[in-house]
Amino acid sequence: MAESRVSELLLQRLESQDGALESLAVAAELGLEHQQVVGAVKSLQSLGELIDAEQRTAKHWELTDEGKEIAREGSHEARVFQSIPAEGIVQSELMNLPSGKVGFSKAMSNKWIRLDKNASGGPRIFKVVECVVDSVKEKLLLVLQGKADHLDEKEKNELKKRKLLSEVTIKTYWIRKGSAFTTTVAKPETDLTPEMISSGSWRGKKFKAYNFDALGVMPDSGHLHPLLKVRTQFRQIFLEMGFTEMPTNNFIESSFWNFDALFQPQQHPARDQHDTFFLLDPAEATEFPMDYLERVKKVHSEGGYGSQGYQYDWSIREAQKNLLRTHTTAVSARMLYQLAQQEHFTPVKYFSIDRVFRNESLDATHLAEFHQIEGVVADYGMTLGNLMGVLKEFFHKLGITRLRFKPAYNPYTEPSMEVFSYHEGLRKWVEVGNSGVFRPEMLLPMGLPPGVSVIAWGLSLERPTMIKYGINNIRELVGHKVNLQMVYDSPICRLDS
C-alpha cells in the first residue's frame, strides 16, 4: 500500500480518536506492518503540525517464523490428529510424517490420541475424540491481530517456550492530532515549475521541505581496470625520470624485428611454435631496410664487429615470418634502428608498457599474454654500473629499496642480470625483473656509433598489480571470468606507498 494511502487512513483513524493512538495498535487494526505506519508518521511530520508523534519503546509480542507457519497451517498436534484415519495408523508411519514426532507427544499429552502397543501389525495409534480445538493456532492468530493482551502471561510464556512467540522491544509512536490537524493531505509539490510562477498558482501550494542533507545521485561513470591504474603509475615514474614512451601499437611483428635484429639466432628454442604465436595470414612480412637486413644476416651467419656470429645459414624466409610479438624489446629494436639513422647520435631514454604474447603453459599467475614494461637508455659509455643505478632509482620509486642483482643470460644482452627485491611480507627475495646491456652484434649492424652502449630492463605489469591489489589468480584480474565489480571497487593505485 502506498505511503500516501497509509497516511490518509491514519489521519481518518485519528480523527475519530480522543487521546493518543499507538502506532503498533493502529497497524494491527489496519492490517498493516508496523513499519508502514512508522513511515506514514514520519511523512506526516515532515508536512508540518498535522500530528504530534511521541516516540516510545514498547515490548511487543511477535510470532517467530515457526509461529507464523502454525498460525497458517495449524499446530503439529492438530495436523497429526487430522492425519489419523478411523482405523488408526501404524506408529512408525505416523512418526515419518512432517509433524509426526513433535505433534505425536503433544497430541498424546492433550489426550487426543492413544497408542495400542499390542495391536496386530505393531504399535498403532487411534483417535480418542471425534474432533479437537487447535487452541495454539487460535492464540497465535490473536497475536497476529494485535490482540496479544487477550492471552494471559502463562499462555504467552507457554508459546514462547515452544519458540512460537517472542517478545521484542520496538520503538513505537504515540500519535495525537496536531495543531494543524486535517484529514486531507495535499501531496506536497517537489518542483516549482515555470507555469506555477507565471500563473501564481504556487501561492496556494505546499512545497516539500528542501532536504539539504540529501546525498547527490552518484553519477554513473567508467572505471579504470587495475592494470591500467598501475600502468599509469609506471608511466608517471618513467616520465619523471625523463623517459619518452615508445609507439607500441603493433601487436603483430616480423620475426626479423622480434628476434633477428636482437641477434637471437633462428634456431633459438624461443622461436619455436611452442613458445611463439606465428600468423597464418599475413604469414610473411615483406618490407625491411634491406641494407640493414644484409648486415644482420652477415652478423648471424659469419659474425663481424669482433664477433664470430653463430655460423649458420641465415634464412630471410625465417625472418619474414609474422608473429605476435613476444616482447616489447622488438619495439626497442625499431626505435634504436631509427635513432641510428640520425646524422648525429643523440642520447635517449625510452620506455614501453604494452601487451606481449607467448605460447606458454598457463597457471595461476601466467597466461599466454602479459604486459611488459621496458626501459632503455642509450648513450656513450653506458655501463653495468649505470644499469644498476637506474634500476635502483626506478624500483625505489616503487617503494622497493633492497635490490639484488644475479648474473643471468639473455640472447640479446651481455652481461645480463636478474633483479631481486626483498619481500617483507613473504620474508624472501623475489624476482622483480630482468635486465642487461644490448650486445654489439645487435647495435652495430643498426649503425649506432661505436662507443654507444644501451642498457635496458624489463618486468611485467601483472605481477605488481596482483601484489598491489591482493589478487592471487591472474584470471581474477584479466579474462572473461573477471568480476566487473572488482574493477568498479578497485581503489586508486599509489605504487610508492
Nearer to ligand FB9, 372 or 453 (CB): 372
Nearer to ligand FB9, 137 or 358 (CB): 358
Question: Closest separation between CB of residue 351 and ligand FB9, Å?
Answer: 11
Nearer to ligand FB9, 23 or 372 (CB): 372
Residue 156: CB atoms within 10 A of its CB come to: 17
| Chain position carrying cell 498436534 | 77
Per DSSP, what are the bridge partners of residue 22?
174
- The DSSP call for residue 60 is E
Nearer to ligand FB9, 346 or 497 (CB): 497
Q: Is 484 helix (H, G, I), strand (E, B) or coil?
A: helix
| Chain position carrying cell 603493433 | 250
Question: Closest separation between CB of residue 398 and ligand FB9, Å?
Answer: 5
Question: Closest separation between CB of residue 461 and ligand FB9, Å?
Answer: 8
Per DSSP, what are the bridge partners of residue 114?
126
Question: Closest separation between CB of residue 256 and ligand FB9, Å?
Answer: 18
d(CA 209, CA 281) in angstroms, rounded, equals: 68
Start-end of H helices in 162-216? 194-199
Nearer to ligand FB9, 123 or 347 (CB): 347
Residues within the interface to ligand FB9 (CB under 6 A): 329, 358, 372, 374, 398, 400, 410, 413, 431-436, 456-460, 463-464, 467
Nearer to ligand FB9, 254 or 329 (CB): 329
For residue 188, is the peptide bond before it cis, meaning its omega torsion is within 30 degrees of 0? no
Question: Closest separation between CB of residue 334 and ligand FB9, Å?
Answer: 14
Nearer to ligand FB9, 76 or 468 (CB): 468
Closest to 486 in 3D by CA, of 471, 464, 468: 471
Nearer to ligand FB9, 257 or 457 (CB): 457
Question: Closest separation between CB of residue 312 and ligand FB9, Å?
Answer: 24
Question: Closest separation between CB of residue 436 and ligand FB9, Å?
Answer: 4
Q: Looking only at Cα atoms, what is the longest distance across the chain?
A: 116
Question: Closest separation between CB of residue 166 and ligand FB9, Å?
Answer: 53
Question: Closest separation between CB of residue 64 and ligand FB9, Å?
Answer: 53
The helix (H) or strand (E) run that includes residue 42 is helix 34-45
| Chain position carrying cell 566487473 | 484
Instruction: Output the nine-digit C-alpha cell for 90.
Output: 501404524
| Chain position carrying cell 637486413 | 293
For residue 491, is the peptide bond before it cis, meaning its omega torsion is within 30 degrees of 0? no
Nearer to ligand FB9, 117 or 428 (CB): 428
Nearer to ligand FB9, 160 or 235 (CB): 235
Question: Closest separation between CB of residue 224 and ligand FB9, Å?
Answer: 18
Question: Closest separation between CB of residue 430 and ligand FB9, Å?
Answer: 6
The answer to whether the CB of 461 falls within 8 A of the CB of 238 is no
Question: Which residue is at the shortest CB distance from ligand FB9?
Answer: 458
Task: Provide the edge-to-edge strand list for the sheet that holds 89-90.
Answer: 89-90, 124-127, 113-116
Nearer to ligand FB9, 67 or 226 (CB): 226
- Exposed/middle/buried for residue 120 (C-beta within 10 Å: 0-12, 13-18, 19+): exposed
Closest to 263 in 3D by CA, of 311, 288, 296, 237: 296
Residues 6+ apart with CB under 8 A from 48: 178, 180
The answer to whether the CB of 116 falls within 8 A of the CB of 88 is yes
The answer to whether the CB of 321 falls within 8 A of the CB of 278 is yes
The answer to whether the CB of 432 falls within 8 A of the CB of 420 is yes
